[in-house]
Amino acid sequence: MAVPPDEVQLYMNFAVRLTGELRSIDIPPDAILWHYTNGPALLAIVDSMSIFSTHISCLNDTSELRYGSRLVREAMASLRTTFEKGSPEHTFLDGALSHFQENPEFPAQAVVPQFVTCLSEEKDDLSQWRAYAGGENGYAIGFRAADLRGCRNSVLARINYDNALHLRLAQKVAETMVQFFLEGIRKYSPADPIAWGGRVLRSLGESTHIRRPVR
């Protein structure tokens, strides 16, 4: 039995609520966001009328990409210990840990079609000058947030550095995954609950981007 569309919508709604709790998208429309760059890159931006972005597998700090998925896996492992071995919850979380396990030989992020570019709310930030503008003779290009929203296949989001909040949300993801699994069994009475759990995991991964975190 496939996961019904209305069930998938529940997963999507949950992902949207998580984004709200992260406070990642509450950027005022009139805020000016600054893109720090060097001279040649500025000319390329003006010439192409585009800002180039980097594939998420090629970021300077590769741990950024794995951070969120690691927290969720750790939360699932911790939650699993609270259930009796062989119970539906324990079996489901066993499958979830296997499903979202990092494969060092074939990282999930290597094939996903996601790219990122960085902007800052700081107009004159020394660390940004050093990191992105060559340290001297660089440029900071200002963009109004409202003008960046609505670009095709893109999301404008603020990075959240609240580690305590990250841990709470990871725990919420783990608990809600189990909740969706159990509620789905009660609602749809699938012939094979284990197979149903696998379908739930795939749908949840696509809905919440557990494998594909977005910067």
Identify which of 114, 81, 92, 59 has the alpha carbon closest to the alpha carbon of residue 181.
92
pLDDT band at 108, cuts 50/70/90? low
What value, to the nearest 5°, has the Cα angle with vertex 164 and ends 149 and 177? 75
Distance of CA 49 to the CA centre of its chain: 27
pLDDT of residue 212: 35
In a domain, 62, yes or no: yes
Instruction: For residue 33, list its beta bridge partners.
Output: 143
Beta carbons within 10 angstroms of residue 77's beta carbon: 14
In a domain, 161, yes or no: yes
pLDDT at residue 200 is higher than 90: no
pTM, two decimal places: 0.77
Looking at the 3D structure of the chain, how many domains does it have? Answer: 1
Helix, strand, coil share of the chain (percent; to 5): 55, 10, 40
User: What percentage of the chain has pLDDT greater than the value 70?
Assistant: 89
CA separation for the pair 123, 41 (Å, rounded): 18
Write the DSSP assignment of 17-57 as a string of letters: HHHHHHT-S---TT-EEEEEE-HHHHHHHHHHT----EEGG
92-108 average pLDDT score: 77
From the CA atom positions of the chain, what is the Rg in Å?
Answer: 20
In a domain, 85, yes or no: yes
Residue 17's domain comprises 5-208
pLDDT at residue 19 is higher than 90: no
